[in-house]
Structure 1
Amino acid sequence: MLLNYIYVGAYNYQQIAENLTCAECKKMDTDKKSVISTINVQSQADAELERKLRELKFKQELRKDWILFIVRDVVIFPAAIAWIFAITGYSLFLLINK
């Protein structure tokens, strides 16, 4: 009879408890408490793993941001400015020598 009430989706707890005997109710309460405590332990472990995963992702994003900063701001922008100066200098040189 307990197997009939495992799926609690459509019923509320009081309707199920009215249909069960007291021994089944006590067993169900004990099972429910053990499931809840197991879920709490698992959720605490999951929360700890989730926190560590967030920290790793943050560190990875930070590294990626630093690499992009170095590549973009330290290498590409100065190279672009040097290229612009070289082109303008060459153009100016050609104009002066004409």
Structure 2
Amino acid sequence: MYDLTGFQRDLLYTIAGQDDPHGLAIKEELEDYYEKEIHHGRLSPNLDEVVDKGLVEKGAADRRTNFYTLTARGRREIEARREGEDQYVGELLSES
């Protein structure tokens, strides 16, 4: 996951937290998180990038709506990232 941008990592976490979310649901979730509008010109290419990297699978709900799911590799990448984060901040957070 080292080669992803922060926005692309946020996409993975957002997709992981929903059941087969469609593009608009992902957009709305990210807008809540970032507290600003996410434009299609930013969302779409980044979704395509995580699909191309094999972290997310894209399916068609209908002719206009795509849905997204994490692949097994995407889940492994999130798990590895969280383990790394725990290594650095786990003790700090447990001291609180």
| TM-score interval for Structure 1 and Structure 2 normalised by the shorter chain | under 0.3
Identify which of structures 1 and 2 has the higher relative contact order when contacts are C-alpha pairs closer than 8 Å and 6+ apart.
Answer: 2
Q: More strand per residue: 1 or 2?
A: 2
- TM-score normalised per structure 1: 0.25
- TM-score normalised per structure 2: 0.26
